[in-house]
Structure 1
Amino acid sequence: MKIAQIAPLTERCPPSTYGGTERIVSYLTEELVQQGHDVTLFASGDSVTRAKLVPCCDLALRLDTRVQDPLPYHLMMVSRVMAYAEDFDVLHFHIDMLHFPLLGRMSVRSVTTLHGRLDLPDLQPFYACFPDFSLVSVSTAQRLPLPVLNWAGTVHHGLPPELLACCANPRGDYLAFLGRISPEKRPDRAIEIALRAGMPLKIAAKVDRVDRSYWESTIGPLVAAHPHVEYIGEINEREKSAFLGNARALLFPVDWPEPFGLVMIEAMACGTPVVAFSAGSVSEIIDPGVSGYVVHGIDEAVAAVHRASALPRAGVRAAFEARFTVARMASDYVRIYGSLDKSGAADAPEGESGELAALA
């Protein structure tokens, strides 16, 4: 099958440090190549891939100091994709909605994975204007604000099994927070949980420009005030195994409708249990008492930290291998690709299994 993967340009594929969507696009692209498909990746020019790379900007836009507005670059990429659209059996978009107006004029097979939150009020009229495009959710919970769209399936993310090593005997006596400093990720909750549990906390996270004031007003002062809370900054893929693997547990105290939460399965791949607040996809990802615990408040989280650190780490890793590998993710997507027709609709695949949810 000739497949085009269209990635955001904010980060390269795979990202050098933080980056969720581009990381998943990279893993999916490489696995599809491994499975024998002819794959073309539309992405930033510094991306690294075994697929055919069509560079749509020189560098990842977040790292290019010359770039003030990412929108023109993404629109230029969409134009380039459309110029070659009929060369592919399927176009797989990961850029939200930018391509819809142009795509509607073409008779091509396409699917769009929505990676973000869908509870924003402006999205309902937009998707109502484009009702025929096939969409994929990354969790069942993600769909809840817009349940009647043309959902072709739900595909949970997956990771290469060899990417992160399972740490059977963690050397660190600390809790971990990994991802992004922002109000919805609630690093302030992570700090409170660690302090009340009497355990050090290590925070490995980026601070976007939009969240700089939150860091300076709220999180930075908390880190400075507590010597057992350490801010490390962004870490790369090579550093994740040690950071997550040596932690007693990952804290995921989110306060928003989390679409997926890639860091949860990254921790699981390292054998590290997760203590996560019940929001969005969390209850779909965590198997309570196996890969961690789902909690509903600070008190429950503090109690769960001590229970989670006693969970067998081989069992945490086994839960990852059973449900969240890149091979499973790619197979789910290939099944969806085969269900598409050129009108944008998707026929329900027979015998769906694994993480590929039934069609809405």
Structure 2
Amino acid sequence: MKILIVMDPGILVPPKGYGGHERLVALFAREYQRVGHEVHLLVTAGSFVEGCITHAFGKEGFPPKHSDALKAIPTAWKFLWAHRNDFDLIHNFGRLVYLLPVLNKRVKKIMTYGREISKRNIRYINELPLNNIVFTGCSNNLVSRGNVAGKWKTVYNAIDFNKYQLQEKTVAEAPLIFLGRIEKVKGCHTAISIAKATNNKLIIAGNISPLADEQEYFKQEIEPYIDGKQILHVGPVNDIQKNGFLGQSKALLFPIEWNEPFGIVMIEAMACGTPVIAFNKGSVEEVVDEGCTGYKVNTAAEMKDAVHRIHNIDRRNCREHAKKRFDVKVVSAQYLSLNR
């Protein structure tokens, strides 16, 4: 099968640093290619995925300039119309509007969402003549917020579990970890309070948001508590560092204050054998298996109690259970089966 994967321009595929969907695009492209398909990518100029054919689509720079984002639309239309009969499947991780030229063509299409879904756009598109298109969201929770028309399926996000090492045992003084962008809705301030209340060290790994209000949040609610002893901020981490920090930690704290569409960091932790303690919002209900890969809680008091029970979770079983659900081989097969 000949497959085209599309992603908004701005971040390289795979990304150098931040880029959640861009990581997924690279991951699925390699897996589709591994199982025997010819894979093309319409992605940011300069991208490279081994074994795949890339087509330049806009320049690197995030967030992209508004003018560049607008230019991307006719560029995508021109490419898709010119190649409307060349592909067996178009898997779009970018903007829905890119698919307009091929909406009523026989080519199979998957429109994948990993962020909030515009119900208005979905209603509009589904009033047009459609052929062979499936909409997917990365959690039931996300799908429930956009499933207003059309054919919808839930397909979870994935990682390559072979890239993560199981740390089967941790020492009694092992730290807790918070990994993600440091912004208020991610709840880093709560992670700090939980670490202090349970007398644990906390590793804070992740970039500080460049937005003015988030910069103020960091200065007021996070930075004063970073002492380099109990509360440590190690900044953004690469894949090797991530493996190390997650593996050495007794639990990942995920005290979100919003409806997270998925939260890939949760399955990255599980892949290292590290259980997750998360506020039960958004996708958490689906991603965390209670008592097996972590604990779902509703309050800071419950999170504190879960920290004291984290030793009851078998780390090897945590990884193996998550692998059966979220490994790229499993999830890519689910995508490829959608249009059969």
TM-score by length of 1: 0.85
TM-superposed CA distance for 1:258, in Å, is 1.4
Determine the C-alpha separation between the residues in 2 that align with 1:86 and 1:280: 39
Answering whether residue 235 of structure 2 is matched by residue 233 of structure 1, we say: yes
Answering whether residue 129 of structure 2 is matched by residue 127 of structure 1, we say: no
Give the gaps of 5 or more residues in structure 1: 339-360
TM-superposed CA distance for 1:337, in Å, is 3.3
Name the residue aligned to 1:169: 169
Q: 2:9–2:59: 8 Å Cα contact kept in structure 1?
A: no
Name the residue aligned to 2:314: 312
SS in 2 for 1:134: strand
Name the residue aligned to 1:72: 70
SS in 1 for 2:111: strand
TM-superposed CA distance for 1:309, in Å, is 4.0
SS in 2 for 1:75: helix
Q: 2:123–2:148: 8 Å Cα contact kept in structure 1?
A: no
TM-superposed CA distance for 1:58, in Å, is 4.4
TM-superposed CA distance for 1:219, in Å, is 2.4
Determine the C-alpha separation between the residues in 2 that align with 1:311 and 1:91: 41
Q: 1:176–1:202: 8 Å Cα contact kept in structure 2?
A: yes
Q: Match of 2:292, as an amino acid?
A: V
Give the gaps of 5 or more residues in structure 2: none
Determine the C-alpha separation between the residues in 2 that align with 1:275 and 1:77: 44
Answering whether residue 329 of structure 2 is matched by residue 327 of structure 1, we say: yes
Determine the C-alpha separation between the residues in 1 that align with 2:196 and 2:81: 53
Name the residue aligned to 1:342: none
| Greater relative contact order structure (CA < 8 Å, 6+ sep) | 1
Between the two proteins, the alignment pairs up a number of residues equal to 328
- The 5-angstrom pairing of residues 292-307 of structure 1 reads 292-307=294-309
TM-superposed CA distance for 1:86, in Å, is 2.0
TM-score by length of 2: 0.89
Q: 1:276–1:293: 8 Å Cα contact kept in structure 2?
A: yes
Answering whether residue 113 of structure 2 is matched by residue 114 of structure 1, we say: yes
Answering whether residue 93 of structure 2 is matched by residue 91 of structure 1, we say: no
Q: Describe the superposition over 1:246-266 as per-residue Cα deviations: whole angstroms up to 9, x where unpaired.
A: 111111111212111111100
Q: 2:2–2:87: 8 Å Cα contact kept in structure 1?
A: yes
Q: Which of 246, 249, 252 is the matching residue for 1:247?
A: 249
Determine the C-alpha separation between the residues in 2 that align with 1:106 and 1:272: 45
SS in 2 for 1:165: coil
Q: Match of 2:32, as an amino acid?
A: L
Name the residue aligned to 2:218: 219
- The 5-angstrom pairing of residues 130-279 of structure 1 reads 130-131=125-126, 132=130, 133-170=133-170, 173-210=174-211, 212-215=212-215, 217-226=216-225, 227=227, 228-279=230-281
Determine the C-alpha separation between the residues in 1 that align with 2:13 and 2:273: 25
